[in-house]
Amino acid sequence: MRDLHVVPARAVRRILDEFAPEVVEIVRGIYLNHGVDDGESPASGFARSVAADGQVAAFDAPSGSGARWVVSVPSGQDATPQTRGMLVLADGVDGHPAACMEATWIGAARAAASAVVAIAEFAPKDRGLSVAFVGDGAVVTQMASYLTMPASRQAEVARISVLGTGDEDLARICSDADVVLERIPGLTGMLDADVVVLAKREKDPYVPSDTPLNAGQLLLNVSLRALPVELVLAANNVLDDVDECLQAYTSPHLAEHATGGRRFVTGTLGEVLRGEVLVDAAKPTVFTPFGMSPLDVAVGQFVLRAATAQDEIIAVPDFLASSAYAEPALL
């Protein structure tokens, strides 16, 4: 029999906050290497959950290193958090499940680190940035935290605006970082910020197709479906992974259907970081991060190592069957 190690959610979040710069560098490193080694990241798939009126996604990571399971429900249904999930990490030797942890904050930290990397690469560098958050929840909170932490700042954030009232965590983060926080009543009042984070999860595009976008402006299409085809085609389009992003009716996927091809895709973030692709400075840039599974697994592995070193893991004895009981094929 073998034990399974569980990292409690409280420990996961504390480690992600304490080691923000390390998480950013882990994510940056994976982007830099992505696409260099073919077959690094298998495509992720979606399965619609009718009962929850949302979507369930199961993602396998490369080389049997782990898997994540995520439930995402459109906003406005009730007070339940929009995203919940679990990350399972495999033993590096034999591939057996070795550890698991609640994945909401893992995904939020991965998204936040991706935002830091993208903003450092694409956002204007000649002034303090205005950042608008359309959406709420763990992703917005973690992004605001990472973007305003002095140790992880790649660009100076001067003002943050949020749609509606925001939450207490966001107000505290801005106060601690001496960043101005503005609460904007409507979507249109937010879309001229230097960086617009589209994190409100909806099944269909919700940004008006006639929205004027600015040269050099950065839109982080975190919710994947925020932008209509017209705005996608008017911008540089940088994806984390082309094949993954062009599925599941994401904004780029809709643009592919509308145009009959992929010529509108500028390239991947890894290609930009390696200097293989340049964006047009006269256009806005849309970065769509589907959320590659190797990112979550790498962040989870870091959290597991830190939690183990700090004696914050819970062992579940005899969780896995011995080989004698595991002979019959399950697949």
CATH class of the domain comprising 125-288: alpha beta
**E-only strand ranges, the chain:** 2-7, 45-49, 54-60, 66-72, 83-90, 97-102, 129-134, 157-163, 180-184, 195-198, 218-220, 236-239, 267-268, 285-288, 314-320
Q: Does domain 2-106+293-320 match CATH 2.60.120.460?
A: no
Residue type present at position 106: I
- Residue tagged 């091809």 (tokens): 261
Instruction: Choose the weakest-confidence range: 24-38, 41-55, 267-281.
Output: 41-55
How many C-beta neighbours within 10 Å does residue 308 have? Answer: 13
Q: How far is the CA of 259 from the CAs of 205, 220, 239, 264, in angstroms?
A: 17, 22, 17, 8
Residue-range domain boundaries for the chain: 2-106+293-320, 125-288
User: Tokens 């943050």 label which residue?
Assistant: 160
More confident residue, 293 or 197: 197
In degrees rounded to 5, what are phi and psi of residue 116? Answer: -60, -45
Per-residue model confidence as pLDDT tens digits over 1-36: 689 999 999 999 999 999 999 999 999 999 999 988
Domains 2-106+293-320 and 125-288 share a fold: no
| Phi, psi for residue 330 in degrees, rounded to 5 | -100, -10
Is it the case that residue 63 has pLDDT exceeding 70?
no
What is the secondary structure of 286-302 as a DSSP string?
EEE----HHHHHHHHHH
Q: Order of strands, edge to edge, in the sheet holding 236-239?
A: 180-184, 157-163, 129-134, 195-198, 218-220, 285-288, 236-239, 267-268
Per-residue model confidence (pLDDT) at position 234: 98
Nearest alpha carbon to residue 102 among 121, 118, 89, 120:
89
Cα–Cα distance measured from residue 76 to residue 137, given in angstroms and rounded to the nearest whole number? 12
pLDDT in tens, 204-262: 999 999 999 999 999 999 999 999 999 999 999 999 999 999 998 999 999 999 999 99
pLDDT of residue 94: 82
Residue 250 vs residues 52, 203, 244, 247: alpha-carbon distances, Å? 20, 9, 10, 6
